[in-house]
């Protein structure tokens, strides 16, 4: 079968995982990470191809995608802003930070991106409570303790 | 060689300099530096001088308890596992996702070889040939660092076949989770590691007899495993660290309204009051109000002299400490916690799935000023019944903070019924 979404790089990596792990089921979540980071979304077509390639039932893959938070969000933007809203960040003022993000990017939290640059998601604890309110942009973690509008603008300008 | 990603700059402090010995600066210690500062000598000592049984006895004597929150004696867990047949698996639980907990990531990101060395010695003790590190999806840098470190260890012969010329073989794979708090529960973690939805299993059988792929599996927290090289190095001297029965260093992640939030390595004879003092005292000189500690229990000023150990009276748990000041509202905080548990409930047990939602809705009534005395009774009813009807730690601990609050901060609930918020947050 020809694969449209499973690129040769993804297939290579999946093959590595298949050698490393004990069963093919163990590869599913790791493979979904690869797909998600490339396409920023996991659609039925992606799941069908993966199910076909790994020879595991589609229902199992769909069950995983609907269970794990990181695969469920359909973000249609190039960059993913995750702002923690859990208790330590809440009492240290994450509400203001989220509002600041909304103001600077012109996007609304947890809503489809308007121009495809940023997606703002409010998430549970990201394990950075001493720099609360903490936030991540893509894979980078930032200290929100002394954040100002200028500083945030500067950070955002790195992500085009 | 140096291809480690950037890591966050958290404040750290250590009074005993064991777990955080190499974690002072925000950079990853590579294998060369690790070896020149005494790393992997515990592994050599373990393989050359001890039998697996010796190590289990050492760990039993050390009184080491699971640092992931439950506080189960590690030696006893291993003892159960070795009484079962091979193959056995060793799984490192690096899925720390409890609100306010960020201690494991310090070890993972700054001193990954300490964890790996701990895993190799543990695997030797329990007779495992295969190990997994289940790291939460929100730590992409941590996963990369661990993968690099494992590669380095393989190149030096610390991992793989016939480690250091012995007949002991062991290898580790990193497995990324994908954003589910419940996967920190050991049976849910195992389900997730098998490539399924992370639903906890009914216990017993416990993982030590039927775990990963139905085989005996030991699941230990990062901090627990990082203690193993220290125990092997210090042997009986380990018993000089900390109070009787709760020996060893402990990491305390402190956050909230203190002057120096961060990760603190201390011994377990410390009280909450001392802990807050060491963390620089209250931020901006504000008055202390409450603290979320242990298994997300809520404590007031009166509880400040309880020690942070695993005794029935102590705080136990992960060591997490979230400090609230006078301008933070208890109800508002409980709502955040309730939202968290509602969101993270896996949905397997109805009392947890629906109970956590109900709990959230009633708490919101208090914030909106529409609550009555009856709601207070209903909260108590829910708080009693959610743990009874759940099979895992998430359900057991979901109403912890609420039940504590109903005992210690009842006046706040009454004030909210009268449409007043003592902290001035809600109305």
Q: What's the pLDDT tens digit per position in B201-231?
A: 999 999 999 999 999 999 999 999 999 999 9
Q: Is residue B9's pLDDT more than 90?
A: no
Report yes or no on B3 lying in a domain: no
List chain A domain ranges: 8-67, 79-157
Looking up tokens 């509880």 gives: B303
Cα–Cα distance, B400 to B313 (Å, whole number): 15
Q: Which CATH superfamily is domain A79-157 in?
A: Glutaredoxin (3.40.30.10)
Q: Which B residues in the span 387-426 are in contact with A, Cβ-Cβ below 8 Å?
A: none
- Report which secondary-structure segment, H or E, holds B264: strand B262-267
Which residues of chain B lie closer than 8 angstroms to A69, CB-CB? 178-180
Q: Out of B240, B270, B301, pick the residue that ends a domain.
A: B240
Which residues of chain B lie closer than 8 angstroms to A32, CB-CB? 178
Looking at A62-76, A82-96, B121-135, which range is the least confident one? A62-76
Query: Per residue in B136-148, pLDDT tens?
Result: 999 999 999 999 9
Structural domains counted in chain B:
3
Do B296 and B339 fall into the same domain? no
Query: Per residue in B279-296, pLDDT tens?
Result: 999 999 999 999 999 888
Do B263 and B158 fall into the same domain? no
| φ, ψ for residue B345, nearest 5 deg | -60, 135
B180 → closest Cβ in A68, A125, A132: A68
Q: How far, in whole angstroms, is CA B233 from its chain's centroid? A: 24
CB pairs under 8 A between A and B: 150
Report yes or no on B410 lying in a domain: yes
Tell if the CB–CB gap between B176 and A143 is shorter than 8 Å: no
Do B321 and B334 fall into the same domain? no
User: What pTM did the predictor assign?
Assistant: 0.96
Report yes or no on B423 lying in a domain: no
Do B133 and B256 fall into the same domain? no
pLDDT, mean of residues B395-400 = 93
Class of residue B172 by CB neighbours under 10 A (exposed 0-12, middle 13-18, buried 19+):
buried
Report yes or no on B143 lying in a domain: yes
Query: Per residue in B136-195, pLDDT tens?
Result: 999 999 999 999 999 999 999 999 999 999 999 999 999 999 999 999 999 999 999 999
pLDDT, mean of residues B22-37 = 94
* DSSP strand pairing (B12-14 vs B262-267): parallel
Query: What was the ipTM of the complex prediction?
Result: 0.95
Do B364 and B379 fall into the same domain? yes
Which residues of chain B lie closer than 8 angstroms to A88, CB-CB? 99-100, 255-256, 322
Do B311 and B277 fall into the same domain? yes
pLDDT, mean of residues B372-377 = 95
Q: Strand order of the sheet with strand A140-142?
A: A118-123, A79-84, A135-137, A140-142
Q: Is residue A143's pLDDT more than 70?
A: yes
Q: Is residue A75's pLDDT more than 80?
A: no
Cα–Cα distance, B186 to B218 (Å, whole number): 9
Do B291 and B345 fall into the same domain? no
pLDDT, mean of residues A138-143 = 91
Q: Is residue B70's pLDDT more than 90?
A: no
Do B172 and B60 fall into the same domain? yes
Q: What is the mean pLDDT of chain A?
A: 94
Q: What is the mean pLDDT of chain B?
A: 94
The domain in which residue B287 lies consists of 250-325
Q: Is residue B1's pLDDT more than 70?
A: no
Mutation target for A interface from B179, B188, B197, B221: give the one with most A CBs within 10 A. B179
Do B379 and B400 fall into the same domain? yes
Q: Is residue B2's pLDDT more than 80?
A: no
Do B275 and B402 fall into the same domain? no
- Closest C-alpha to B413, from B288, B298, B329: B329
Tell if the CB–CB gap between B141 and A68 is shorter than 8 Å: no
- Report which secondary-structure segment, H or E, holds A83: strand A79-84
A67 → closest Cβ in B98, B175, B180: B180
Compute the nearest-CA separation of B423 from chain A (Å): 12
Do B313 and B229 fall into the same domain? no
pLDDT, mean of residues A106-125 = 92
Tell if the CB–CB gap between B197 and A21 is shorter than 8 Å: no
Mutation target for A interface from B5, B10, B98, B138: give the one with most A CBs within 10 A. B138
Q: Is residue A91's pLDDT more than 80?
A: yes
Compute the nearest-CA separation of A107 from chain B (Å): 23
pLDDT, mean of residues A64-93 = 91
Do B151 and B86 fall into the same domain? yes
Q: In this structure, what token pair is assigned to residue A17? A: 């995982």
pLDDT, mean of residues B230-243 = 95
Predicted local confidence at residue B3, as pLDDT? 58
Work out the percent of chain B whose per-residue pLDDT is above 70. Answer: 99
Question: Taking each helix axis from N to C terminus, what angle separates B373-388 and B400-408, rounded to the nearest 10 degrees?
Answer: 140
**Sign (positive or negative) of CA dihedral B368, B372, B376, B381:** negative
Tell if the CB–CB gap between A139 and B140 is shorter than 8 Å: yes
Compute the nearest-CA separation of B315 from chain A (Å): 19
Predicted local confidence at residue B311, as pLDDT? 85
Is-contact B30 B4, C-beta < 8 A? yes
Q: Is residue B69's pLDDT more than 90?
A: no
Looking up tokens 């308007």 gives: A114
Mutation target for B interface from A59, A86, A136: give the one with most B CBs within 10 A. A86
Tell if the CB–CB gap between B181 and A124 is shorter than 8 Å: yes
Residue A74 pLDDT grade (very low, low, confident, very high; cuts 50, 70, 90): confident
- Report which secondary-structure segment, H or E, holds B36: helix B31-36
Q: Could you tell me which chain B residue has the CA closest to the CA of A85?
A: B336
Cα–Cα distance, B146 to B153 (Å, whole number): 10
Which residues of chain B lie closer than 8 angstroms to A91, CB-CB? 256-257, 322, 324, 328, 333
């Amino acid at each position: 079968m020809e694969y449209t979404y499973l690129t040769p790089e993804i297939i290579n990596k999946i093959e590595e995982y298949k050698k490393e792990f004990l069963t093919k089921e163990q590869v599913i979540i790791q493979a979904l990470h690869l797909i998600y980071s490339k396409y920023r979304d996991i659609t039925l077509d992606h799941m069908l191809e993966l199910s076909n390639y790994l020879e595991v039932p589609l229902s199992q893959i769909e069950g995983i995608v609907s269970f794990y938070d990181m695969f469920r969000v359909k973000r249609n933007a190039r960059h993913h802003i995750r702002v923690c809203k859990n208790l330590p960040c809440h009492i240290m003022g994450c509400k203001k930070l989220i509002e600041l993000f909304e103001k600077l990017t012109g996007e609304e939290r947890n809503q489809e991106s308007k121009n495809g640059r940023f997606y703002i998601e409010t998430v549970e604890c990201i394990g950075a409570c001493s720099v609360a309110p903490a936030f991540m942009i893509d894979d980078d973690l930032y200290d929100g303790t002394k954040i100002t509008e200028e500083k945030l603008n500067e950070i955002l300008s790195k992500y085009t | 060689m140096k291809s480690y990603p950037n890591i966050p700059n958290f404040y750290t402090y250590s009074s005993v300099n064991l777990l955080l010995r190499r974690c002072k600066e925000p950079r990853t210690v590579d294998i060369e530096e690790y070896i020149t500062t005494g790393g992997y000598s515990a592994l050599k000592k373990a393989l050359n001088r001890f039998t697996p049984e010796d190590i289990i006895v050492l760990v039993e004597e050390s009184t080491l308890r699971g640092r992931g929150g439950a506080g189960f004696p590690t030696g006893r867990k291993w003892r159960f596992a070795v009484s079962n047949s091979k193959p056995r698996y060793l799984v490192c639980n690096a899925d720390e996702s409890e609100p306010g907990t960020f201690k494991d990531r310090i070890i993972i990101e700054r001193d990954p070889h300490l964890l790996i060395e701990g895993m190799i010695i543990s695997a030797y003790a329990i007779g495992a040939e295969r190990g997994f590190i289940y790291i939460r999806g929100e730590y992409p840098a941590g996963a990369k660092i661990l993968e690099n470190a494992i590669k380095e260890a393989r190149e030096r012969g610390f991992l793989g076949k016939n480690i250091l010329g012995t007949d002991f073989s062991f290898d580790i794979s990193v497995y990324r989770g994908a954003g589910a708090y419940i996967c920190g529960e050991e049976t849910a973690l195992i389900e997730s590691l098998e490539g399924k939805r992370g639903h906890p299993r009914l216990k017993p059988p416990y993982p030590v007899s039927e775990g990963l792929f139905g085989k005996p599996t030991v699941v230990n927290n990062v901090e627990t495993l990082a203690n193993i090289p220290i125990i092997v190095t210090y042997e009986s001297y380990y018993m000089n660290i900390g109070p009787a029965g709760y020996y060893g260093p402990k990491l305390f992640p402190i956050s909230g309204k203190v002057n120096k939030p961060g990760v603190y390595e201390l011994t377990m004879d410390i009280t909450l009051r001392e802990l807050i003092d060491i963390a620089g005292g209250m931020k901006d000189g504000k008055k202390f109000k409450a603290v979320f500690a242990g298994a997300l229990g809520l404590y007031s000023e009166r509880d400040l002299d309880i020690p942070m150990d695993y005794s029935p009276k102590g705080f136990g748990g992960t060591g997490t400490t979230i400090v609230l000041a006078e301008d933070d509202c208890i109800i508002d905080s409980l709502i955040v916690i309730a939202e968290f548990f509602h969101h993270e409930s896996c949905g397997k047990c109805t009392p947890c799935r629906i109970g956590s939602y109900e709990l959230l809705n009633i708490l919101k009534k208090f914030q909106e000023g529409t609550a009555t005395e009856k709601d207070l009774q209903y909260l108590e009813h829910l708080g009693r019944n959610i743990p009874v009807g759940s099979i895992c730690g998430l359900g057991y601990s979901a109403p912890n903070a609420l039940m504590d609050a109903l005992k210690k901060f009842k006046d706040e609930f009454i004030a909210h019924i009268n449409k007043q918020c003592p902290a001035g947050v809600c109305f």
